[in-house]
Amino acid sequence: QLQLQESGPGLVKPSETLSLTCTVSGDSISSSIHYWGWLRQTPGMGLEWIGSIYNSGSAFYNPSLESRVTISVDTSKNQFSLRLRSVTAADTAMYFCARDVYEFVSGSPTNWFDPWGQGTLVTVSS
Amino acid sequence: DIQMTQSPSSLSASIGDRVTITCRASQSIRNYLNWYQQKPGKPPSLLIYAASNLQSGVPSRFSGSGSGTDFTLTITSLQPEDFATYYCQQSHTRKTFGQGTKVEIK
Over the stretch A78-93, which tens digit does the pLDDT of each residue have? 999 999 999 999 999 9
DSSP one-letter code for B18? -
Alpha-carbon distance of B32 to B23, in angstroms, equals 12
Which residue of chain B has the CA closest to A4? B43
Q: Is the pLDDT assigned to residue A107 strictly greater than 90?
A: no
Tell me the per-residue pLDDT of B33-66, one tens digit each, with 9 for 90 and over.
Answer: 999 999 999 999 999 999 999 999 999 999 999 9
Alpha-carbon distance of B18 to A25, in angstroms, equals 38
**Could you report how far apart the first and last alpha carbons of chain B are, in Å?**
36
Which residue of chain B has the CA closest to A42? B99
Query: In this complex, which of A62, A110, A115 lies closest to B50 when CB atoms are compared?
Result: A110
Tell me the per-residue pLDDT of A48-87, one tens digit each, with 9 for 90 and over.
Answer: 999 999 999 999 999 999 999 999 999 999 999 999 999 9
Alpha-carbon distance of B88 to B83, in angstroms, equals 16
